């Protein structure tokens, strides 16, 4: 069992055997969705979150191992490596501790202490540290020479600089200061005086003179301050509440007093200088980086959870849909889609001012509804949305109507993916198609858009971008594989996220489909160019073929387990088709009879769930929604009103709710429920239909405060 296994198991409080097997599977190229779904016996039934954490810890330890190798090489080349130092580096698995060990040997720009050493003042620093010399002036005089050190004061200052640097590189001193910072550090922000009256500074008004304990500073406040600092509006600092305690701690690490008060006084001056000039800025930078990383992780977690909820939004399913991208001056772009989402027709209508061709638009819509046998209408939630919904409801024989989020539709319509799908159509048509398809299958459509453009994040442009991308890509992959993908209708973009595929194989599948027609079995995937046994193993269980000859091809049962189901059917005296979905046949199956070395109870339990409801969609059913018809603008709001709304975004300080007035209101975390709420996602979900009370309306700043407490 390697050292990584032991460290990860200890850090995550997981069984070592499960961690070791997970690491082996990851090294073999297995994906996280595949491991969590089809290798439960080997991992000890670890879930996707635990496997993701194991993978992340493994990556961090690999990076630390590389850093250790670089440090050992650098110190060895300086000929300063000792067996004890090498042992300490080898057994160290904490990055902060490792950097402390390296600090005295780290190549650095020319410091005051280095200059003093070059001037031959190290012996004088030793005299200070011994604290036995009573005539310091005479001792320092021996080091005065030529143009370099012209006075005893300069000699003693150089010796103090050496002592100050030694203290700043002492890992014990640094750890004591870290403990003080952890306990009592304050984060403070002040406005840059020359900027305080500017318009761009007003959004940071809350932070013009702000201070609070760093450990209590929430992610969104810290990221707001750091953004203000980045824009040159704020100055942000982190300091311990009691600086005197910190200086005292540094002085405590000086050698014990040996009789010379003059030496002691200079050493204490060196300790104070070490703290103010070297230690405090260094530890402050550490805590600034640590707090920013913590805030990033919180913000990314919120974004990832919002994205997961958005991707798993209820789908309408394969229905013929009319998609409408509403607008006033430029009109409403109308598209008609078939049940597979293919574009059948598009045109513009102008029911609103300034054109006001209401009757003509109504006739057009009614004709299109009949001609294309439209089963549902999707209207974008942007400009003119409420007016367009009202207009459509005035048409005859309209099917169910849904308002769909437009976030990111314009990004998609101008993207390379959209151009490839609709090379002959303009961006407005592509945007309307995206709105229509989002109603049919939000997941299949939203994977085409950069997650950062979907509008469900919090400070997404301020956090670590590579970490954000990695996290969001994992969420998309997880959602796609949780739901499963129709092999015969999935776009190349959607197939890219299927376990074991990627852009190359996704493209090959689509091209094979074009040349050979629809897939009739999962086994046929093996004929796709470059899709070998390893890729087949990873992807097959997540791909569905609704009308396949073998019903298991439309389920989450992996082809490697087909023989188990065949044996079950044989023992029941029926065919697989008769067994699938037949609870009566299934109730007589004792799964313990089918346990082997390869197939255990977790896999058999999953197989039985699939046989009960093959290919089931884990997403909820879609519900119709309607805003209050009497409230259309922020001017219509009155404090105390109770209104229906849709949750559009969730942050760690509350939830934003669309109440149909072109400006989302905020339900602060303290107003989400009649009890204490730590995490808003425990109370609300994205796109949830809620009832809210209007608490306060600030029309000048266009801010709406809402409450869900005691609202029926």
Mean of pLDDT values over 349-372: 96
**What are residue 521's phi and psi, to 5 degrees?**
-155, 160
Mean of pLDDT values over 540-559: 94
**What residues pair up with 666 in beta bridges, in sequence order?**
656, 705
Mean of pLDDT values over 345-359: 95
- Give the chain's largest Cα–Cα span: 106
- If pLDDT is split at 50, 70 and 90, which confidence band does 712 have? confident
Exposed, middle or buried by CB within 10 Å (0-12, 13-18, 19+), for 193? exposed
Residue 662: pLDDT above 80? yes
pLDDT given at position 1 = 67
- The Cα–Cα gap between 670 and 709 comes to 9
SS3 call for 373:
coil
Mean of pLDDT values over 165-177: 96
- If pLDDT is split at 50, 70 and 90, which confidence band does 481 have? very high
Indicate the DSSP class of residue 211. E
Mean of pLDDT values over 20-35: 96
- If pLDDT is split at 50, 70 and 90, which confidence band does 461 have? confident
Residue 350: pLDDT above 90? yes
- The Cα–Cα gap between 193 and 382 comes to 39
Residue 345: pLDDT above 70? yes
Mean of pLDDT values over 48-67: 96
Percent residues over pLDDT 70 in the chain: 100
How do 376-380 and 401-404 pair as beta strands?
parallel
- What is the pTM (predicted TM-score) of this model? 0.86
How do 321-325 and 376-380 pair as beta strands?
parallel
**What are residue 704's phi and psi, to 5 degrees?**
-125, 125
- Please write the tens of the pLDDT for every residue from 576-609: 999 988 888 888 899 999 998 888 999 999 999 9
pLDDT given at position 6 = 96
Secondary structure (DSSP) of 298-367: HHHHHHHHHHHHHHTPPP--S--EEEEE--STT-EEEEEE-TT--EEEEEEE--STTT--HHHHHHHHHH
Residue 459: pLDDT above 80? no
pLDDT given at position 581 = 86
- If pLDDT is split at 50, 70 and 90, which confidence band does 625 have? confident
**What are residue 181's phi and psi, to 5 degrees?**
-60, -45
Percent residues over pLDDT 90 in the chain: 81
**How are strands ordered across the β-sheet holding 185-191?**
209-213, 185-191, 234-240
- If pLDDT is split at 50, 70 and 90, which confidence band does 567 have? very high
Mean of pLDDT values over 373-395: 94
- The Cα–Cα gap between 636 and 245 comes to 57
- If pLDDT is split at 50, 70 and 90, which confidence band does 550 have? very high
How do 401-404 and 703-707 pair as beta strands?
unpaired
User: What ranges in 373-415 are assigned the alpha helix state H?
Assistant: 385-393, 409-413
Residue 701: pLDDT above 90? no
- If pLDDT is split at 50, 70 and 90, which confidence band does 401 have? very high
Closest CA to 23 of 47, 42, 41: 42
Mean pLDDT in the chain? Answer: 93
Contacts of 674 (CB under 8 A, 6+ apart): 709, 710
* 543, 487 contact by CB (below 8 A): yes
- If pLDDT is split at 50, 70 and 90, which confidence band does 147 have? confident
Element (H, E) at 432: helix 427-440
- The Cα–Cα gap between 346 and 432 comes to 9
pLDDT given at position 700 = 78
- The Cα–Cα gap between 550 and 227 comes to 56
Tell me whether the omega of the peptide bond preceding residue 356 falls within 30 degrees of 0, making it cis. no
SS3 call for 641:
coil
Residue 295: pLDDT above 80? yes
């Amino acid at each position: 069992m390697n050292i990584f296994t032991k460290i990860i198991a200890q850090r995550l409080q997981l069984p070592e055997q499960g961690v070791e097997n997970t690491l082996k599977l990851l090294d073999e190229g297995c994906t996280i969705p595949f491991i969590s779904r089809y290798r439960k016996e080997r991992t000890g039934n670890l879930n996707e979150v635990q496997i993701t954490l194991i993978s992340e810890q493994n990556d961090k330890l690999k990076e630390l191992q590389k850093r250790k190798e670089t440090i050992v090489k650098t110190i060895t080349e300086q000929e300063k490596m000792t067996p004890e130092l090498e042992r300490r580096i080898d057994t160290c698995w904490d990055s902060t501790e490792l950097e402390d060990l390296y600090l005295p040997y780290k190549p650095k720009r020319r410091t005051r202490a280095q200059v003093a050493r070059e001037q031959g003042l190290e012996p004088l620093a030793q005299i200070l540290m011994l604290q036995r010399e009573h005539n310091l002036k005479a001792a320092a005089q021996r080091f005065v020479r030529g143009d370099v050190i012209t006075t005893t004061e300069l000699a003693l200052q150089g010796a103090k600089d050496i002592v100050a640097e030694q203290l700043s590189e002492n890992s014990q001193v640094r750890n004591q200061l870290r403990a003080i910072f952890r306990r009592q550090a304050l984060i403070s922000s002040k406005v840059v005086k020359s900027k305080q009256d500017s318009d761009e500074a007003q959004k940071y008004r809350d932070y013009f003179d702000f201070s609070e304990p760093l450990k209590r500073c929430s992610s969104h406040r810290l990221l707001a301050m750091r953004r203000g600092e980045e824009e040159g509006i704020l100055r942000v600092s982190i300091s311990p509440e009691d600086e005197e305690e910190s200086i005292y701690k540094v002085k405590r690490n000086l050698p014990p007093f040996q009789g010379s008060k003059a030496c002691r006084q200079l050493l204490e001056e060196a300790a104070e200088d070490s703290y103010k000039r070297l230690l405090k800025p260094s530890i402050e930078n550490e805590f600034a980086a640590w707090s920013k990383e913590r805030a990033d992780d919180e913000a990314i977690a919120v974004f990832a959870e919002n994205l997961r909820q958005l991707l798993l939004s209820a789908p309408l399913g394969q229905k013929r849909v009319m998609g409408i991208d509403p607008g006033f001056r430029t009109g409403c772009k109308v598209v008609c889609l078939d049940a597979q989402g293919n574009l059948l027709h598009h045109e513009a209508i102008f029911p609103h001012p300034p054109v006001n061709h209401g009757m003509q638009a109504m006739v057009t819509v009614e004709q299109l509804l009949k001609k294309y046998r439209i089963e549902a209408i999707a209207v974008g939630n942007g400009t003119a949305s409420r007016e367009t919904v009202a207009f459509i409801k005035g048409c005859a024989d309209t099917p169910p109507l849904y308002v769909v989020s437009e976030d990111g539709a314009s990004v998609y319509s101008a993207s390379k993916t959209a151009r490839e799908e609709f090379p002959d159509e303009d961006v407005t048509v592509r945007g309307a198609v995206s709105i229509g398809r989002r109603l049919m299958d939000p997941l299949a459509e939203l994977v085409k858009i950069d997650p950062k453009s979907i509008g469900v994040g919090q400070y997404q442009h301020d956090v670590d971008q590579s970490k954000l991308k990695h996290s969001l890509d994992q969420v998309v992959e997880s959602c796609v594989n949780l739901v499963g993908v129709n092999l015969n209708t999935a776009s190349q973009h959607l197939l890219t996220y299927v376990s074991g595929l990627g852009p190359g194989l996704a493209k090959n599948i689509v091209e094979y489909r074009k040349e050979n027609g629809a897939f009739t079995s999962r086994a046929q995937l093996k004929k796709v160019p470059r899709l070998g046994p390893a890729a087949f193993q990873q992807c097959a269980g997540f791909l569905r073929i609704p009308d396949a000859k073998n019903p298991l091809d439309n389920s989450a049962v992996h082809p490697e387990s087909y023989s188990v189901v065949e044996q079950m059917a044989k023992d029941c005296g029926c065919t697989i088709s008769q067994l699938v979905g037949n609870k009566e046949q299934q109730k007589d199956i004792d799964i313990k009879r089918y346990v082997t070395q390869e197939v255990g109870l977790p896999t058999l339990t999953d197989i039985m769930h699939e046989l009960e409801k093959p290919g089931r969609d884990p997403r909820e059913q879609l519900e119709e929604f309607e805003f209050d018809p009497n409230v259309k603008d922020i001017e219509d709001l009155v404090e105390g009103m109770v209104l229906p709304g849709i949750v559009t975004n969730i942050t760690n300080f509350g939830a934003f709710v669309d109440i149909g007035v072109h400006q989302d209101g905020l339900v602060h975390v303290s107003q989400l429920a009649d009890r204490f709420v730590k995490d808003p996602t425990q109370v609300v979900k994205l796109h949830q239909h809620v009832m809210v009370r209007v608490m306060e309306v600030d029309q000048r700043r266009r801010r709406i405060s809402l409450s869900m407490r005691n609202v029926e």
